[in-house]
A and B are shown apart, each in its own frame.
Chain A
């Protein structure tokens, strides 16, 4: 996989590539997932994001911070405002992990079945 070209937009902070771990931890909170949904197709200022929550602005800022750290949000400054949007590429590691869900499950199935029902070794076939 190639890295995201850096520094293409002077005013834009490109998130650092994050490990699936950091991404998953960031996603493990329903409020943070809600934030990502809000900025999935659009760019919003922090205030607008906070306004959709019953949480304090501080709490929302904290969630935004975690998402930024995980590379899930791209931040752009416009005057005094900070605008956020989803950084789609950072979901790629998660997609890769998800793609392993059923194969992983089936290899556990294989292990479970073959442990419980060992077959006699065949000499050759």
Chain B
């Protein structure tokens, strides 16, 4: 597992011992997505379909842009009421690459507000639901 942050882009990767066919629905099925992120989801995985995730108090709102099972999914991501990161303000691209029976997941979050407080503000707002616990 690695992550790289460069200005307005975060790239995170993970190797998962399951094929892309198994991993993909974890980005499109509300019952599966909440097993790893958020606690409530409304997902309509088709271009223009709603992507809505509640993470405690923090809300992520956007829409699916590309849904190409089982290899690639792109959705927009933002925070209601945030001027720095409005709903649909940034995009998350997930690419699943087969590796034998396994999958390499490369997640790229683009269009984050630039570093320092402008960026963090958005971050705070979408993180605050979970970070205090994670930090504690």
- Interface class of chain A by DSSP: helix
- Residue A77, interface by CB 8 Å: no
- A20 contacts which chain B residues (CB < 8 A)? 131, 135
> In angstroms, how far is the closest chain B Cβ from the Cβ of A15?
15
Report how many residues on chain A are interfacial, defined by Cβ distance under 8 Å.
37
Determine which of A88, A91, A107, A113 lies in contact with B18 in the assembled complex, contact meaning CB atoms within 8 Å. A113
A105-B12, A113-B26, A114-B17 provided; 16 other pairs, C-beta below 8 A? A24-B128, A24-B132, A27-B128, A33-B121, A36-B117, A94-B123, A103-B1, A103-B2, A103-B12, A106-B12, A108-B36, A111-B36, A112-B32, A113-B18, A116-B35, A119-B17
Residues of B participating in the A interface, judged by any CB pair closer than 8 Å: 1-3, 5, 10, 12-18, 22-23, 26, 32, 35-37, 101, 105, 107, 109, 115-118, 120-121, 123-125, 127-128, 131-132, 134-136
- A28 contacts which chain B residues (CB < 8 A)? 128, 132
Contact A112 B124 (CB under 8 A): no
Residues of A participating in the B interface, judged by any CB pair closer than 8 Å: 19-21, 24-25, 27-28, 33, 36-37, 40, 86, 88, 91, 94-95, 97-114, 116-117, 119
**A45, B120: Cα distance in complex, Å:** 24
Contact A91 B117 (CB under 8 A): yes
Contact B10 A102 (CB under 8 A): yes
